[in-house]
Amino acid sequence: MGDVPIYVAHDSADVWAHPDLFYLDDQGRPTVVSGVPPDYFSATGQLWGNPIYRWDLLAASGYKWWIDRFRAALAFFDMARLDHFRGFESYWEVPAGETTAIHGRWVKGPGEDLLSALQNVFGELPIVAENLGVITPPVERLRQQFGLPGMSLLQFAFGNDPQGPSFRPHNYTHDLAAYTGGHDNDTTVGWWLSAGAGDSTRTPEDVHKEHDFARAYLNLRDDSEINWVMIRAVLASVADVAIVPLQDVLGLGRAARMNLPGTISGNWKWRYRPAALSGELSARLRSLVTLYDR
């Protein structure tokens, strides 16, 4: 399973080769850039800074650039997580030069038109829609119209997130890819041991409540087994797809974290050593996937 980010970088080969498909000035600089508006997590939103697509020109070509992009991705992967799926229904556009994402606007995305074009070429779309964050009913209708599974992260189920109940396995639906945590999360052991670390909005009381609720919900008797208890909860759920990062299978801490959003260095460097993959771990995984018909 691979990943297809919604946007590409300004200094990418894609923008260099097809500048006409992006909102650029006569010097090749973006006139509008990507981001998301202020929300529960950030008072100033997130200013990503990627150039915005000229969806009108992409549509006029029958979305050839996107078809080629998916064809290239699917040469490597059986399925792809489609990043920021919300942005295909409507995306947040910020004037270039802004220092935050506050002064942006919602712009209607290509939605059904683009997904229909992809479906005409690839048939049933091998896509998991990344639908985390604040998701509106039109976004979910678009996802369901094309039969795309959404995502759920068990690490989000126990804290103050107002969407927390939707991340709890008893509320899962079949059309989900359920994860213990994703590539932007800490490892499960790291999350458990450092819950709230670096987050000034969370008090020690918040962390204590989160741990207490997680222990009660997961029937957790031994904190040292938190990764396996979370793995079992995801595999036992009704979600059609269950995904467990290898770091969680190995029970590794925050030093094995894959990515820390908002940082530009030190990420995507973790690798496992072959000797780490023991027969004992294999047997433990096999017993769980057999038990829960995975």
Start-to-end C-alpha separation, the chain: 17
Residues facing 81 on adjacent strands = 3, 128
Collapsing DSSP states into helix, strand and coil, what is residue 32?
strand
Active-site residue, selected from the candidate residues 98, 112, 140, 184:
184
Provide DSSP, 10-50: TTSHHHHH-GGGB-B-TTS-BSEEEEE---SS-TT-EEEEE
Residue 222 appears among annotated catalytic residues: no
Do you know the residue count of the chain? 294
240 is catalytic: no
**Nearest to residue 158, comparing CAs of 100, 83, 213?**
213
Choose the catalytic residue: 93, 130, 186, 248.
Answer: 130
Supply the DSSP string of 250-277, one letter for each residue.
HT--GGG----TT--SS-S-----GGGS
The catalytic position among 14, 83, 98, 175 is: 83
Catalytic, 78? Answer: no
Q: Cβ atoms within 10 A of the Cβ of 210, count?
A: 21
Other Cβ atoms within 10 Å of 255 Cβ, number: 9
Contacts of 138 (CB under 8 A, 6+ apart): 89, 90
Angle at 217 between CA 1 and CA 255, to 5 degrees: 50
Tell me the C-alpha distance between 107 and 15, whole Å: 21
> In whole angstroms, what separates CA 253 from the centre of its chain?
20
> Which residues have a catalytic role annotated?
83, 130, 184
